[in-house]
Amino acid sequence: MRFDIITIFPDIFESYLKEGLIARGLKKKLIQVKVHDLRKWTKDKHKTVDDRPFGGGLGMVMKVDPIFRAVKAIKKKKSKVILFTPRGEKFEQKTAFKLKKYDQLVFICGRYEGVDERVAEKIADLKMSIGDYVLMGGEVPSLVVVEAVSRLVPGVIAKEQLLKERTTKTKGYLEYPQYTRPEVFSPRKGTNWRVPKDLISGDHEKIKKWREKRERTIEK
């Protein structure tokens, strides 16, 4: 699985990709993440990626032509080109399962007042939103999708966890709540936050029942 991210702020991704299971997945070559500076595909000396909107209005709009050249250079076979926009289809666990089937995902990260609509109409295969709120750019959404899809790639997370999630394929799976030591935490005098009794009972049947009652699929 290969992710190609087109952005005007490539440095945002640097530290993120160096940490945790994503870093391990990259090192083991289970996933590949390539971050591309959109300015590389501009043709003027100022490396312009945005311009004023036709019809007037506040702010700037990202230009179609550098994005077209970037996608043309990056896109391979069996890929999906995704434009992040708050007006897109909502990204969910079932979307992550669908996207995992492609060899390559190309992400276009918008900034400013958004992206020239011709990118949505002519270049992107999918318009995707990570939720009903407006962010400043598509960089965080692209990391959300990288993370959700990567953890479905065999080897990136523990096998047992992935197997469980696969059995509820399109729905997704939410595990039971977890606790660790201490058994009783007292944040202040007279207040005790206790671990549920069944979990510290040592009785495997009780533990199993407690957990089964609380695990669920995402589509309740």
Please select the residue that binds ligand SAM; options are 106, 114, 124, 148, rule is CB under 6 A.
114
**Is 115 a binder of ligand SAM (CB under 6 A)?**
yes
> Which residue has the CB atom at the shortest distance from ligand SAM?
110
**Is 107 a binder of ligand SAM (CB under 6 A)?**
no
Please select the residue that binds ligand SAM; options are 96, 109, 143, 146, rule is CB under 6 A.
109
- Of 113 and 198, the one with the shorter C-beta distance to ligand SAM is 113
**Is 85 a binder of ligand SAM (CB under 6 A)?**
yes
User: Of 120-159, which residues contact ligand SAM (CB under 6 A)?
Assistant: 129-131, 133-138, 141
Phi, psi dihedral angles at 82 (to 5 degrees): -115, 125
Q: How far apart are CA 141 and CA 86, in angstroms?
A: 10
Phi, psi dihedral angles at 98 (to 5 degrees): -65, -45
**Is 53 a binder of ligand SAM (CB under 6 A)?**
no
Alpha carbon 133 to its chain centroid, in Å, reads: 16
Please give the single-letter amino acid code of residue 136: M
Please select the residue that binds ligand SAM; options are 110, 119, 123, 124, rule is CB under 6 A.
110
Please give the single-letter amino acid code of residue 161: Q
In the complex, least distance from residue 204 CB atom to ligand SAM, rounded to whole angstroms:
44
In the complex, least distance from residue 8 CB atom to ligand SAM, rounded to whole angstroms:
11
Q: Give DSSP secondary structure letters for 169-215.
A: TTT-EEPPP---S-SEE-SSTT--EEPPGGGGS--HHHHHHHHHHH-
Q: How far apart are CA 128 and CA 131, in angstroms?
A: 9
Q: How far apart are CA 23 and CA 157, in angstroms?
A: 12
Kindly give the pairing relationship between strand 184-185 and strand 193-194.
antiparallel
- Of 31 and 62, the one with the shorter C-beta distance to ligand SAM is 62
**Is 66 a binder of ligand SAM (CB under 6 A)?**
no
**Is 113 a binder of ligand SAM (CB under 6 A)?**
yes
In the complex, least distance from residue 130 CB atom to ligand SAM, rounded to whole angstroms:
4
Tally of CB atoms within 10 A around 71:
21
Q: What residues make contact with ligand SAM under the rule CB under 6 A?
A: 84-87, 109-111, 113-115, 129-131, 133-138, 141
